[in-house]
Amino acid sequence: MAMRYSIKYVVALCASLALPGTAMAEFSEFENPNIQEVQPWDTIRIGRVPDDIYLRDIDDPDDIIWDRIPSYRTYLSIAPPVHPSTRLRFNADSGTNLYFQIARTSDYFLVRLRWKDTTKNVATSIDGFRDAAAIQFALNGSTDTSYMMGSGPDSPVNIWYWRSDYDFNVEDLAAGGYGSTTLLPDQQLNGHAAYIDGRASVDQEWHLVMARKIGSDGEHQIDLTQDEIPISFAVWQGANGGRDGNKHVTQGWILLDNSLEDGKSFDDDKAQASTQTSNQ
Amino acid sequence: MAVKRQISMVLDLNKCIGCQTCTTACKLMWTNRSGREYMYWNNVETMPGEGYPRGYQQAGGGFDKDGALKLSKQPSLEDYGIPWEYNYEEALMTGTDPWLRPNIKPTWGPNWDEDQGEGDYPNSYYFYLPRLCNHCANPACLAACSRNAIYKRQEDGIVLVDQERCRGYRYCVNACPYKKVYFNEELSKSEKCIFCYPRIEKGLATACARQCVGRIRWIGYLDDEDGPIHTLVEKYKVALPLHPEWGTQPNVFYVPPLSSSKFGPNGEELDEPRIPLAYLEGLFGERVGEVLETIKRERQAKNEGRESELMDTLIGFKHAEMFKLS
């Protein structure tokens, strides 16, 4: 009996050493068979919300529809510093996991993000920085465009940047290289976030939905009707002074298969998405 | 950073009486409201003292010997001083509050340590140090901005924050060793002294200089050999930058303060200035002693009825001669 307890203890100790901090916190998510690991350069299909499902708010971060959309996990690592100011603050930490779901209705393109954050930072003040997250799209649909803020003015990226300090809080941006991020004159993104203040710190996380009408793209705004859309993600931790290049990012493009297959049902789509990830 | 011309300011610390008229002129002109309440683009601090923001001289920033940016402590709002308002309406108008009082309990603010200084009686000492953006030739704020939102104007070398480009990263606030870039919480952008460029463009002196009752400030172009800046900085070499070791090459210069003699234990005057030379050298560099000797020599000349161009310049008889903006 004593022997069995001590073996259990050793196993538990090994497990805790192998999966410290957030990794331990996300252990249950690794076990979740409905969440698939996605690497940069993998292709995933966009989930579809059938027209007969009514969404009260297009950007409700906890709408029950999200329980029926395939969920993916991807690893965000610290962005390499490209400016002396980011280099001075570079902290090669272990990165973080981002959970994402992507869906479209007939009218809207929706992205839902979830990530663990034990510190809720919703103010941009003299004494602190805000939490933030962003989705980046290669504007011409080309994976030749650098996933690090685009490749100059001729190969720009479109960025949807959510900031936790405003009510109307998703900025539509474009960039063509480091330091060139620019607010676009035409702002028509929807976005809403909820901070989940769980009982234990492992449950504390941001839920965020960003949405835009399909077919409403102007200059430097992603065309959401093209068949393949390269995207990547970024998360800023306000508690760590996150801003600018002090962020965690996808180190490459994730490819969205946006092709329409008429006649397929929502559930068919879901089943297909849950079995399809390349490079696995 | 080469510019076509560099506008510059000299301040004579021997003449500053710490009246804060410059501070008020600047505040009323530029930083009265809208997230700027805590900001003093121009301030006057008592030296030795904590300064504004508190402890900025020990915070870091600027450049190291190899010209690389140095990280600094980021000042907190408490270090600047949390701005407060008074209940004028309740105390003075409606009478619903018997006391006129601030809406917060003040614990620190600019000039919290005003007139404290250092030393024990009868050898205690202090002097005033007015500070504004130095519009540096090698601005750390500009080097630190990852978005090129900070620029130095070619025509006069004034350093400005482009409010369109700024996204509030605050690298500049951190990098400026003088802590003369401020973050506006309401606008999420950084702001700083603009050397009153709308006034400069009309040939007028900055508000802080024009309002100065002690007439301690001169404005002009560094390369103008007929102007007061050239006379004080280049010809007589009596104006020195604050903390040149921080590597930003300031374009605001100070005439260091002379002080009366120290007293010995029996009340005798010692041949030693009240403000220690080493302290002044720590602020303005190694040339302080030489500068103080020059000023003493020229004062003596004026005392004896001889000509002194330097003293005539430092007296500042006419504003037209103190501000040469063409």
Q: What are the residues of chain A with a beta carbon less than 8 Å away from any beta carbon of chain B?
A: 82-86, 88-89, 124-127, 165, 178-181, 243-245
| A65: CB partners within 8 A, 6+ apart | A49, A53, A55, A103
Residue B192 lies in a domain: yes
- One-letter amino acid at B159 equals V
Is the pLDDT assigned to residue A7 strictly greater than 80?
no
Residues from chain B that touch A124, judged by Cβ atoms under 8 A, are 168, 185, 188
- One-letter amino acid at B112 equals W
**Chain A touched by B77 (CB under 8 Å):** yes
Q: How many domains does chain B divide into?
A: 1
Q: What spatial distance separates the first Cα and last Cα of chain B, rounded to whole Å?
A: 22
- Which class is A2-279 in CATH? mainly beta
Q: Tens digits of per-residue pLDDT, A188-198? A: 999 999 999 98
Is the pLDDT assigned to residue A26 strictly greater than 80?
no
Is the pLDDT assigned to residue B133 strictly greater than 90?
yes
Is the pLDDT assigned to residue A27 strictly greater than 70?
no
Closest chain B CA to residue A86: B146
- pTM: predicted TM-score of the whole model, two decimal places: 0.89
Least confident segment among A31-35, A232-236, B207-211, B240-244: A31-35
Q: Where are the domains of chain A?
A: 2-279
- Model confidence band, residue A1 (pLDDT cutoffs 50, 70, 90): very low
Mean pLDDT of B193-217: 98
Residues from chain A that touch B35, judged by Cβ atoms under 8 A, are none
Closest chain A CA to residue B68: A84
Residue B94 lies in a domain: no
Q: Do A178 and B183 touch (CB under 8 A)?
A: no
Residue B222 lies in a domain: yes
Residue B40: which domain range? 7-87+107-324
Mean pLDDT of A150-161: 95
Residue B98 lies in a domain: no
Is the pLDDT assigned to residue A268 strictly greater than 80?
no
CATH code, domain with B224: 3.30.70.20
Q: Which residue is listed with tokens 């906890």? A: A62
| Res A29: pLDDT | 53
Point out the residue among B75, B171, B188 whose CB comes nearest to the CB of A124: B188
| Closest to B12 measured CA to CA, from B228, B301, B222 | B228
Q: Tens digits of per-residue pLDDT, B226-268? A: 999 999 999 999 999 999 999 999 999 999 999 999 999 999 9
Residue B101 lies in a domain: no
A-facing residues of B in 245-264 (CB < 8 A) are none
**Chain A touched by B170 (CB under 8 Å):** yes
| Res A225: pLDDT | 93
* ipTM for the predicted complex: 0.90
Q: Tens digits of per-residue pLDDT, A64-117? A: 999 999 999 999 999 999 999 999 999 887 799 999 999 999 999 999 999 999
Q: Over pLDDT 90: what percentage of chain B? A: 99
B289 CB burial (10 A radius; 0-12, 13-18, 19+): middle
| Res A273: pLDDT | 45
Q: Tens digits of per-residue pLDDT, B44-96? A: 999 999 999 999 999 999 999 999 999 999 999 999 999 999 999 999 999 99
Q: Over pLDDT 70: what percentage of chain B? A: 100
